[in-house]
Every structure is written in structure tokens, then in C-alpha cells.
Chains A and B, each alone.
Chain A
Amino acid sequence: MRAMAIVGYGAPLQPVDLAEPPFGPGDVRIAVEYCGVCGTDVKIAEGVMPFSPTLALPHVPGHEIVGVVAEAGPDVPLAPGTRVVLYDYGTCGSCRSCVGGRETTCSRLRRRIGFTDPGGFQESVTVPWTLAVPLPDTVAPVAAAALSCAIGTAYRATVTLGQVRAGSTVAVVGAGGVGLHAAQIARAAGAATVVVEPSPQRRSAAVAAGARAVAGVEDLRALDDEIDVVVETSGHPAVVPGAVAAVAPGGRVVLVGYTPGAPMTLDAQDAVLKEVTVVAAATPRARTCGPRSRSSRAAR
């Protein structure tokens, strides 16, 4: 089957022809329709992820997969033709993280689609059915390409970890794939939202989504609002001190973006005296993505 693969770090993706992988009784083969492109795919292609030194090349990236069940094993309750979104974490279901409901930090991860295992930049992907979440007909497949990561991560950062509620004021730093969706989710939760983004085009998109927008994190302090939550999606190392400075006493700063090899620093005095909570969000949990993949169930 056709695929686009990483054949060397930092080099352009190359077309490759891959054999179909082995197929088990609990597996589904998904004919990929769309695969969203995440900033992490760029990092994987550049070879700067923690697993990069041991990743076998060629590697097919892409973890934001939507497609149709083309083949289902005998143990699978999904019919061929079912449109699904894939949850990329194949967790053990038994480690401390999984049992505690934090499977995104599973210590015995069995697979991670597009990260350490073949992803969606190919015609089909074979995975355990427990990673496939049926998609309602009301959701356009191309829109669903943003669902499992960009939107799911934005939800986890904003609602689950940011604890944004009606009446909150939220600053979202960065109006990229996660940030634009985080701003919309915060607004849907009833929060007032301001987006921090240097790009005029992206600021316009944020305003069109119902947020106010400023160019820099330092501009937040000029606002009259008390910022309850800052959701940092840019990964720019210089942002965190400004985020801590901007958030109200007792507020929360949620880190989503990161740049490999570029540590962020914060003013501990500012954070301590204001009792700011700093948390980090990697990716959505299974229960955020759908009912079939529960944290208590091992997903091979």
C-alpha cells in the first residue's frame, strides 16, 4: 500500500510501498480517509522526540486518523463501513497510571499510532478495535481529522485540567491547531476568552471564533480582566513567565506546547506568592474520545 514515510530525520517524507501488517481476531483495518497534521508530527520527522533514537525508519507518521472500517476480525463488534476516529494510545490498562485514570502517562505503553507505530500517512492502518471510536454521521470526516488530538487536547487542557467554567476568563496563548480549538471550547464552556497570538491572520481567526485577541502575553496585563486560566499552546520558552505574571492569584497555567531542548522557566516567587497552579496536558484521555476506549480497559 502507498504511504509517505520518514526515511531520514530532517529530510522530506518519501513515498514508500508497504506490506499489509498481520491481522488478528480483535483487529480492524481502517481505510484512512484523512489524517490531521500535528506539530508533533514535525518533531517526529525532525527526530527530536525522546523515542527518536530507537525509532525504526522508514516510519509512517500521523496520529489524527479518521477512516472507515474496511475489515474487522471475528471478535470485533464494529461492522465494515463504520466510520471511526482512532485513539492513538495503546495502553496496558494495569499500570499505576492506567488504574488511576491517567492512561496518557501509561508506563507500559503497547503502541502509539503515528509516534512509535505506523500512522495515518498511508492507505490503511491495522489496530485493535478498542482504539476505534465510531463517528456520528453528523460529523464531517475532514473535520474529524482534528478531533482526536487538536480538539481532544484542547478540551483536556481547557476543561479537564484548566477547570474552565462559566464565568471564567481564559487566555489562550497561540492560535494554532490546539489554540484555536481551545478558545472555542472555553467560549462554549461559558468563559470570556482572549487569545494571545503575534500573527494578524491567526488573531483574526480567533476573533471570528468569538475571542478577543492581543499580540503578546505582556498585553494581557493591560486588560481589565482578571485572568483565571492561561492555556499555553505555543511552546515558546519565553511565554511562561508572562503567563504566570498575567494570571490572577489562585489561577491556573496549563502547559500544552513545548519545544524540545528549550526549557521554560518561571518566576517561582511570583508563582508561589500568587499560589498559581501550573499543570501540563499532553493529550486527551480515552474517555474524552469515546465510550469504547475506557481507561480501565487495556487497549493493545
Chain B
Amino acid sequence: MTPVVSETFPLADAGRALAAVRDGTVLGRVAVAVSAAGGAP
């Protein structure tokens, strides 16, 4: 199977990630990218 994590948001945009989940505008899961290794600025 293929995990569906369709989009990542930087930590500072965690609120936008929540809103996207609330509004159903994203596909599958989204994730907050927190550390430098995770891709956040």
C-alpha cells in the first residue's frame, strides 16, 4: 500500500494545515514538517 501524505506545511503554517483538513481541501493526510531534516525552514 502507499501512504497518502499529499502535502506538507512548515511548522509556522500548522494552522493552515489544520484549516485544510477542516475544510476537506486536501487529499489523504497532510503533515507539518517541523525539523530541518523534515524540510521546514
Sample of 9 more A-B contacts, CB < 8 Å, known A4-B11, A33-B38, A184-B2? A32-B35, A35-B31, A45-B18, A62-B14, A121-B14, A121-B32, A141-B38, A145-B29, A177-B4
**Once bound together, how far apart are the Cα atoms of A38 and B33, in whole Å?**
14
Interface residue range, chain A? 35 or more
**Once bound together, how far apart are the Cα atoms of A36 and B33, in whole Å?**
9
* Contact A202/B27 with A41-B18, A147-B3 known, Cβ cut-off 8 Å: yes
Q: Which of A90-124 contact B (CB under 8 A)?
A: 120-123
The distance from the CB of B19 to the nearest CB of chain A, in whole angstroms, is: 8
Option from A13, A120, A144, A184 in Cβ contact (under 8 Å) with B1: A184
Cβ of A12: which chain B residues have Cβ within 8 Å of it? 15
Cβ of A31: which chain B residues have Cβ within 8 Å of it? 35, 37
Cβ of B1: which chain A residues have Cβ within 8 Å of it? 151, 181, 184-185, 187-188
Option from A123, A177, A187, A199 in Cβ contact (under 8 Å) with B34: A123
Cβ of B11: which chain A residues have Cβ within 8 Å of it? 2-4, 121-123
List the B residue with the shortest CB-CB distance to A201: B27
Cβ of A181: which chain B residues have Cβ within 8 Å of it? 1, 3-4, 28
Q: How many residues of B contact A (CB 8 A)?
A: 29
**Once bound together, how far apart are the Cα atoms of A215 and B4, in whole Å?**
21
**Do residues A37 and B30 form an inter-chain contact, with CB atoms below 8 A?**
yes
Which residues of B come within 8 Å of A, CB atoms? 1-5, 8-9, 11-12, 14-15, 17-18, 20-22, 24, 27-35, 37-39
**Do residues B21 and A146 form an inter-chain contact, with CB atoms below 8 A?**
no
Option from A37, A39, A141, A199 in Cβ contact (under 8 Å) with B32: A37
Cβ of A195: which chain B residues have Cβ within 8 Å of it? none
List the A residue with the shortest CB-CB distance to B8: A142
**Once bound together, how far apart are the Cα atoms of A205 and B38, in whole Å?**
25
**Do residues B18 and A142 form an inter-chain contact, with CB atoms below 8 A?**
no
**Do residues B12 and A36 form an inter-chain contact, with CB atoms below 8 A?**
no
The distance from the CB of B7 to the nearest CB of chain A, in whole angstroms, is: 10
The distance from the CB of B28 to the nearest CB of chain A, in whole angstroms, is: 5
Q: List 28 A-B contacts (CB under 8 A).
A: A4-B32, A32-B35, A32-B38, A34-B31, A34-B38, A35-B31, A35-B34, A36-B32, A37-B17, A37-B20, A37-B31, A42-B21, A42-B22, A67-B34, A68-B35, A120-B34, A122-B11, A123-B34, A141-B37, A142-B31, A142-B33, A146-B3, A146-B31, A150-B28, A177-B28, A181-B1, A201-B27, A205-B27
* Contact A180/B28 with A37-B17, A41-B21, A121-B11 known, Cβ cut-off 8 Å: yes
Cβ of A13: which chain B residues have Cβ within 8 Å of it? 14-15, 18
